[in-house]
Amino acid sequence: MEPILQIRHLSLSLPVKKGMVSILHDVSLDVAPGQILGLVGESGSGKSMTAFAVTRLLPGGGHEKLGGSIRFCGEELTEKSEKDMQAIRGRDISMIFQEPMTCLNPVFTIGRQMTDVIMTHQKISRAEAMKKAEDMLASVHIRQAADVLRCYPYELSGGMRQRVMIGIALSCRPKLLIADEPTTALDVTVQAKILYLIREACRRLGTAVIFISHDLGVISQICDTVAVMYSGHIVEAGKAADVFETPEHPYTRALMAAVPKFTVSAAAGDRLFAIPGIVPDPSEAMAGCRFAPRCPFATEICRTAPPSDTLTGAGHLVYCHNWQSAAPAIGVLRGKEAEA
Amino acid sequence: MISMHFLLKRLLHLVLVFFGVSVVTFCISHVIPGDPARMLVGPHASPETLAAARASLGLDQPIWTQYIQYMTGLFHGDMGLSIRTQMPVAGELAKYFPATLELTLAAMLIAVIFGIVLGVASAVHRDAWVDHVSRIISLVGVSMPLFWSGVIALILFYKVFPIFPASGRLDAFLSPPPPVTGLYIVDGLIAGQMDVVLSAIHHLILPAVCLAYVQLAIIARQVRSSMIDVLEQDYIRTARACGIPRRTIIYRYALKNALIPTVTLTGLTIGELLGGAVITETIFAWPGMGKYVMDSISFLDFPAIMGFTLVISFGYVLINTVVDIVYGILNPQIREEGER
Amino acid sequence: MNEAAEAAVRPSRWKEIWEIALRNKLTLTGFAIVALVVLVGLLAPVLAPYDPNEMNIPARLQAPGAEHLFGTDEMGRDILSRVMYGARISIAVGVIIVAVSAAIGIVLGSLSGYFGGRADQAVLAVTDMILAFPSMVLALALTAAMGPGLLNTMLAVIIVRIPMYTRLMRGQVLVAKEQQYVRAARTFGEKPFWIVVRHIVPNCLTPLMVQMTLGIGDAILIASSMSFIGLGAQPPTPEWGAMISTARIYAIDQWWYAAFPGLSILITIMGFNLIGDGIRDILDPRSRK
């Protein structure tokens, strides 16, 4: 299917106290209608910034530098004015966020906040918008939607607020939904329901979804395709099944090894694996691969030249010099750690 | 809008605070002075008057009997005789009350309106010249002695640039409008005497601005900092992600949240304005309660001073109750819980 | 263990605050202003060109010039000298008011916060009563009852300001009480009094410092206002507020008479405000905007 969102060689620099700091490097992604793309990585890897770059909600106060191309429905978003972007946000591209506790305005009722969004994008009366809002809440499985509309955010539970957020996000039937860690702040039982809700809505409305999470478990449950990010770069991308079954990049493998249920030889008493070292600071300049300092397979070339993308299977991309030579078994990683 | 429970709770609180205030004023007039009777009649009273005062105070009675007598007097509007004018203090204060009300109301409007405008402009255009100018205005404002700004304003706008009159509420050749509210501007409008209205405004501007300035600065600072705080909140990002126009976000979504702490501040502001009225009214020869108490101070007219203290404090407490209720209306969570 | 860590953190934290404060231009300006005013006040007998109370009727109400940099008042006294001596009074008044009211507030607040119960209720009730008045009006009534004069004014302002520190300290203690190191001390069987003195109070002082710095400016302001009204320092005293009170009649035609004492108050208070704001921004990064 033709991708609805095509990101090519996206780079982003944000202003800091002294000069600019590069946040994203050469990010390329595709999302197709009705499909869910999982964007995974540690905090600070640039997942959220990629999303904010798409909707241009960047924290640089207009001084940020955006390079590359973001094509959405055949239109180039990087060339759009703020006013055009305003019309697109909420109507064609919606977002939901991590903290349902703080994402709703505490001094307005749910109904007021939902209708404000609907009326921003559609020329209808408050009463009509209220009817639409009620329908939308019902469609995200909120019972007594009419009562909830009259509530203030503090009167609702975390799960309910996240449902409301999804309701607001879907109220104008957007073509793309960006979900930034939408379940991280919720209880596990509520998490599953919200995940189900997002997937169902996506299938029903044909909405494309970018699902951002640091939790591989969540990503594996819901996503069709996956992109793994590290320090502002995509390191591996492909169909979810491929990436999870045959991870090629040392970082992806390490990430999976760090998740208990992904251990290959899950013998009792096995130690949980932790990736040594920390994510490099974005301001830190590096000639080669940014994972090299933490990578057990790094060789000379990794420290001097940035890796380019290599196709390892149908649509499965990996950005690594040594992906073939790096021993595929995670057991080696474990051994290395034990030695250290 | 507001629950009865909330209102009743505020009213009960009001009664308690009134009681507390009366205890304090009772202590000031009956317990602190070496000889309360002497304080009440002044240093030049005849021995007979002094003896009569002693008897009426019941100084040989237990303290709580004295308090009951004191409260009985207050309930009948009896605040004693002014030493200076030999008139009942309550009547005198009633005569001067409207002038003070007009001045403090005007000052409050100026402080609140311009304080909010300045604070919002400053927060929205952070670190631009608007922000710098408004921060300098605020810094000078919070450090400015009221009695000095009044004198300087007179030198500037009466002597150097003769724009405003130096004293009184009306031009000498005009007579006050028929009293309805006691506020010359309002009464002038009711009577349709535009010359009186204009003259009253002309006389009011300089003292009101001087009185307002310090509070304006405090409000501007508060609004700026809470507005900046609110603009960084998640729900503002949500609103932006939903495509709500920037103006709507600033002036409706953010401002309502930012004004909640400002409402509480407004209550304190009124206290400062009422206290400051003593100084401003003296400098601008404004015939209100402040000038009355200032004249009383030079005679050590203790009953007049205590009467003034009582009236101002009761007014202050009353206004703060109103402020609390407004706070409840603005902040749905407080309204529901009914307590702070 | 915990306690040792806390103790080790404290001095370095103050050092850090101090270092950040010195890097901020505005805060530095505040320090410079206050240092200057204090210095002028201390050295007034050396620096002042004239005796502040020496009358010279023939030279009355002279405009600023070579003889009298700030001009003279209606008695021919040198305004510059009076302003210099005024710095002494104002700084002393501000510092004493804050020191005494904060000390009492800290004691009351920590006791009421730590022990709670009836005593706490009583303290809260009294502070509520005092806070129900506009501070200026209550100070005015109290001074009137005790009799005009600078000492009584200071006493009145102290009474009016105690609740602020009590409330602040009480809130701090309520939080600190639940901290691990305090619980640890309790399980070690330390006496409550020593827990309060050794563990709680030192850890609550930082926010109080901000309030106290801002409080000095505020105390100078309210005390000079009382002098202006005629309840505070009495006329021959070279107190800034009292000077402006007398200057009021002459100010329209002799601008310098009111201008210089007023400017001194403005600058002094601004100095304390700059320092207070600076420290607050360092302590509360949220307010650093």
CATH number for C201: 1.10.3720.10
Least confident among A26-35, A275-284, C215-224: A275-284
Residue C114 is assigned to a structural domain of this protein? yes
pLDDT above 60 (res A266) = no
Share of chain A above pLDDT 90, in %: 10
Chain B residues in contact with C141 by the CB 8 A cut-off are 25, 28, 305-306, 309
Higher pLDDT, B4 or B116: B116
Question: What number is the average pLDDT over the span A19-30?
Answer: 86
C109: closest CA of chain B, how far (Å): 20
Determine the Cα–Cα distance for residues A18 and B188; give it in Å rounded to an integer: 61
Output the six-digit token pair for B324: 């609390």
The mean pLDDT value for A238-251 works out to 84
- pLDDT band for A337, please (50, 70, 90 cuts): very low
Contact A90 B333 (CB under 8 A): no
**Nearest partner of C94 among C272, C217, C186, judged by Cα:** C217
Question: What confidence category does residue A306 fall into, taking pLDDT thresholds of 50, 70 and 90?
Answer: confident
Provide the shortest C-alpha distance from residue B190 to chain C (in Å).
Answer: 33
Q: Among A206-215, A269-278, C241-250, whose mean pLDDT is lowest? A: A269-278
CB contact residues (below 8 A), chain B span 77-116, against chain C: none
* High-pLDDT (> 70) share of chain B, %: 97
What is the reported pLDDT for C102? Answer: 93
Amino acid at A309: D
Nearest-by-Cβ selection for C262 from B145, B297, B308 = B145
Residues of B in contact with A155 (CB under 8 A): 336
**Is residue C258 less than 8 Å (CB to CB) from chain B?**
yes
Would you state the pLDDT for residue C4? 39
Is C94 part of the contact surface with chain B (CB cutoff 8 Å)? Answer: no
Tell me how many degrees the CA angle C5-C8-C10 measures, rounded to the nearest 5: 110
d(Cα B19, Cα A301) in Å, to the nearest integer? Answer: 82
The answer to whether A211 and A30 are in contact (CB under 8 A) is no
**pLDDT tens sequence across B175-211:** 888 888 888 888 888 888 888 889 989 999 999 999 9
Give domain status of residue A270, yes or no: yes
Query: Cβ atoms within 10 A of the Cβ of C96, count?
Result: 17
Burial A68-93 (b: 16+ CB within 10 A, else e): bebbbeeeebbebeeeebbebbbbbb
Q: What is the span of the domain harbouring residue C233?
A: 16-48+77-288
Of A55, A99, A116, the CB nearest to B244: A116
C136 at interface of B, judged by CB pairs closer than 8 A: yes
Residue C10 lies in a domain: no
Q: Average pLDDT in the B130-145 region?
A: 89
User: Does residue C211 sit within a domain?
Assistant: yes
Q: For residue B88, what is the DSSP state?
A: B
Rounded to whole angstroms, the Cα distance separating B208 from B273 reads 10
Q: Do C247 and B151 touch (CB under 8 A)?
A: yes
CB contact under 8 A, B238 and A55: no
Q: Of C243, C267, C228, C237, nearest to C79 (Cα)?
A: C243
Please tell me the predicted confidence (pLDDT) of residue B216.
94
Report yes or no on A175 lying in a domain: no
Q: What is the mean pLDDT of residues C162-174?
A: 89
Residues B284-293: what's their mean pLDDT? 90
pLDDT at C179 > cutoff 80: no
pLDDT at A57 over 80: yes
Helices first, then strands: H and E counts in chain A: 12, 12
Residue A34 lies in a domain: no
CA distance B276 to chain C (A): 8
**Considering the domain boundaries, does residue A216 fall inside one?**
no
The rounded distance, in Å, linking the Cα atoms of B145 and B217 is 13
Q: What pLDDT, on the 0 to 100 scale, is given for residue B334?
A: 62
Confidence of residue A160 (pLDDT cuts 50, 70, 90): confident
Q: Is the pLDDT of residue C267 over 90?
A: yes
Under the banding of pLDDT at 50, 70 and 90, the label for residue C289 is: very low
d(CA B122, CA B132): 8
In this predicted structure, the answer to whether residue A78 has a pLDDT above a threshold of 90 is no
Residue A261 clears pLDDT 80, i.e. is over it: no
Q: Does residue A340 carry a pLDDT above 50?
A: no
Q: Which residue in B has a C-alpha nearest to residue C145's C-alpha?
A: B33
Task: Tell whether the model's pLDDT for residue B1 goes beyond 70.
Answer: no
CB contact under 8 A, C128 and B20: yes
Contact A117 B244 (CB under 8 A): yes
Query: For A72, what's the count of Cα atoms within 13 Å in the CB-facing half-sphere?
Result: 23
Other CB atoms within 10 A of residue A278 CB: 10
8 Å CB contact of A90 and B330 = no
- Write down the pTM of the prediction: 0.83
Cβ distance of B275 and C245 shorter than 8 Å? no
Chains B and A touch (3+ CB pairs under 8 A): yes
Whether residue C276 lies inside any domain: the answer is yes
A130 φ, ψ (degrees, to nearest 5) = -65, -40
Average pLDDT, integer, range C25-51:
86
Residue identified by tokens 């607050």 is C280
Q: What is the mean pLDDT of residues C92-103?
A: 94
Best CA proximity match to C69, nearest among C58, C77, C80: C80
CB contact under 8 A, B316 and C134: yes
Distance of residue B337 Cα from the nearest chain A Cα, in angstroms: 11
- CB-nearest to C262 from B20, B151, B154 is B151
pLDDT band at A326 (very low <50, low <70, confident <90, very high): low
The partner residue sitting opposite A102, judged by closest CB among B233, B253, B256, is B233
What is the mean predicted confidence (pLDDT) over A138-156?
A: 88
Q: Which residues of C touch B294 (CB under 8 A)?
A: 229-230
Q: Is there a contact between A34 and A202 (Cβ–Cβ < 8 Å)?
A: yes
Q: Which of A112-126, B41-55, B88-102, C122-136 has the lowest mean pLDDT?
A: B41-55
The count of structural domains within chain A is 1
Distance from CA of B175 to the nearest CA of A (A): 49
Lowest mean pLDDT among A188-202, B36-50, B132-146: B36-50
Q: What is the pLDDT of residues B302-320, one digit of tens each?
A: 888 888 999 999 889 988 8
Is there a contact between B275 and C134 if contact means CB atoms under 8 Å apart?
A: yes
Q: CB distance C273–B23 less than 8 Å?
A: no
- Would strands A75-76 and A65-72 be described as parallel, antiparallel, or unpaired? antiparallel
Residues C50-61 pLDDT 10s? 787 777 777 777
pLDDT score recorded for residue B340: 34
Overall average pLDDT of the C124-152 stretch: 90
pLDDT band at A209 (very low <50, low <70, confident <90, very high): very high
Of residues A87, A90, A104, nearest to B241 (C-beta): A90
Q: Of all residues in chain C, what percent carry a pLDDT higher than 70?
A: 92
Q: In chain B, whose CA is at the least distance from the CA of C226? A: B279
> CB distance from A115 to chain B under 8 Å?
no
Q: Which chains touch C (3 or more CB pairs under 8 A)?
A: B
The answer to whether the CB atoms of A121 and B257 lie below 8 A apart is no
Q: From the candidates A88, A105, A116, A121, which should be mutated to test the interface with B, based on the most B CB atoms within 10 A? A: A105
Q: Is B270 exposed, middle or buried (0-12, 13-18, 19+ CB in 10 A)?
A: buried
What is the rounded average pLDDT for all residues in chain C?
A: 82
The average pLDDT across C11-19 equals 66
Whether residue A329 lies inside any domain: the answer is yes
Say if C228 is an interface residue toward chain B (CB within 8 Å): yes
Q: Per the domain annotation, does A318 fall within a domain?
A: yes
Q: How many Cβ atoms sit within 10 Å of the Cβ of residue B169? A: 24
If one counts the domains in chain C, the total is 1
The domain in which residue A266 lies consists of 248-339
Which residues of C191-257 form beta strands (DSSP E)? none
pLDDT of A107 above 90: no
Asked if B312 lies within 8 A of C253 by C-beta distance, the reply is no
Q: Sort out which chain B residues have CB atoms less than 8 A from A52's CB and list them.
A: none
Q: Could you tell me if residue A254 is inside a domain? A: yes
Please report which confidence band the pLDDT of residue A332 belongs to, taking 50, 70 and 90 as the band edges.
very low
All residues of chain B having their beta carbon less than 8 Å from the beta carbon of residue C270 are: 139-140, 143
Q: How close B83 gets to chain C, by Cα (Å)?
A: 14
Altogether, the residues listed in chain B come to a count of 340
Whether there are 3 or more C-beta pairs closer than 8 Å between B and C is yes
> Is C touching A (3+ C-beta pairs, cut-off 8 A)?
no
Task: Quote the pLDDT of residue C159.
Answer: 94
Task: Report the pLDDT value the prediction gives residue B281, as an integer from 0 to 100.
Answer: 92
Low-confidence winner among A111-120, B195-204, B329-338 (lowest mean pLDDT): B329-338
CB pair distance less than 8 Å for C132 and B316: yes
pLDDT of residue A230: 87
Structure tokens at A167: 């309701």
Restricting to C residues 98-127, those with a Cβ less than 8 Å away from any Cβ of B are 125
The reported pLDDT for the residue numbered C284 is: 65
| A281, two tokens | 């600071």
Distance from CA of A174 to the nearest CA of B (A): 10
**ipTM of the assembly?**
0.86
B305 contacts on C by Cβ (under 8 Å) = 140-141, 144
B260 contacts on A by Cβ (under 8 Å): 107
What is the model's pLDDT at position C287?
46
User: Is C265 a member of any domain?
Assistant: yes
pLDDT for C257: 81
pLDDT-wise least confident of B73-87, B192-206, B225-239, C216-230: B73-87
Asked whether the predicted pLDDT for residue A58 surpasses 90, the reply is no
Of C79, C35, C89, the residue nearest C59 (C-alpha): C79
Cβ-Cβ contacts under 8 Å, B152 against chain C: 258-259, 262
Q: Is residue C280 part of a domain?
A: yes
